[in-house]
Amino acid sequence: MKIAFLTDPLDQFKTYKDSTFAMMREAAQRGYALYAFGPEDMALESGVVVANIRLITLTGDADDWYRAEAPKAMRLSEFDAVLQRKDPPFDMEYIYATYLLELAEQQGARVFNKPAAIRNHNEKLSIAQFSQFTTPTLVTRDEQRIRAFHQTHQEIILKPLDGMGGAGIFRIRADGMNLGSVIETLTENGRRTIMVQRYIPEIVHGDKRILLIGGKVVPFALARIPQNGEVRGNLAAGGVGVAQELTVRDLEIAQTLAPILYQRGLLLVGLDVIGNYLTEVNVTSPTCFQEITQQKGFNVAGMFIDALEAAVSDK
């Protein structure tokens, strides 16, 4: 099998924790050929989606971890699978990439996650489709609505709709200190829509990442526990990851969403759950493979490549 990874620059990978690297390593162990390219490498030429793509070989060295051949212009339809692993921000360039990938699908490419499904599932807003699992939530750019929500719920979280890694998340307490400034900053004085949620105190026990692969639930979550007074548990924001078994509520949420999201073309999904509440549905480049594997011995990357093999054979 030939697998092309659409990803961030390989030189930026931290191989000791990168989930895309874990996928590559598992695929290489199965004898598959690995290729890599970035969004900037794609083009539509004479109606055909092509990209300047490099064949890569893993070295086994944690630092100098790959060798790459010179890039070659190739059709995306030449590969058995194209894995979309580009991190947010989900800006217009990201959307343009999904358009090109969708055209490539029409020309025979097999893209995972499906580009239309990625585009249709904003990682914050998608929770509204499963409101039975969410904390009280407001999506707006209107300052008065946000202030009224704060009056009702007292402690709230405000965050942008297009960020990642905990960037731009603010907690406002009952006294409302700095609420006006945060609203102005995040909404850019009413020009940008944001999400506001009732604060979930259980964040002190971790923001749990639950992985869904091929419509099935990985049996362990990674609880990302905030440190040093932070409200954010994201690993990128300094949180400490602790792998743990799923709770009854975790399973209820995950088993409800897994088949639905898989049918929509999402091979890999990362749910974020705080306490008993679903807070995000991550579809762009979900992570935490290596932390779960290292702590619990469960081969998440193996489960993913198994699901990829099954999905490719079904097409």
Q: Which residues are catalytic?
A: 124, 159, 209, 224, 232, 272, 280, 282
Enter the DSSP assignment of 39. Answer: G
In whole angstroms, what is the distance from residue 154 CA to residue 178 CA?
A: 13
Strands 48-58 and 42-45: antiparallel
Question: Please, what is the Cα angle at 265 between 303 and 261, to 5 degrees?
Answer: 80
Structure tokens at 87: 């991190």
CB-CB neighbours of 172 under 10 Å: 21
Distance of CA 28 to the CA centre of its chain: 23
* 296 contacts 211 by C-beta, under 8 angstroms: no
- For CA atoms 65, 67, 71, 76, give the dihedral sign: negative
In whole angstroms, what is the distance from residue 134 CA to residue 251 CA?
A: 15
In whole angstroms, what is the distance from residue 279 CA to residue 93 CA?
A: 25
- Which position has the token pair 């249709």? 120
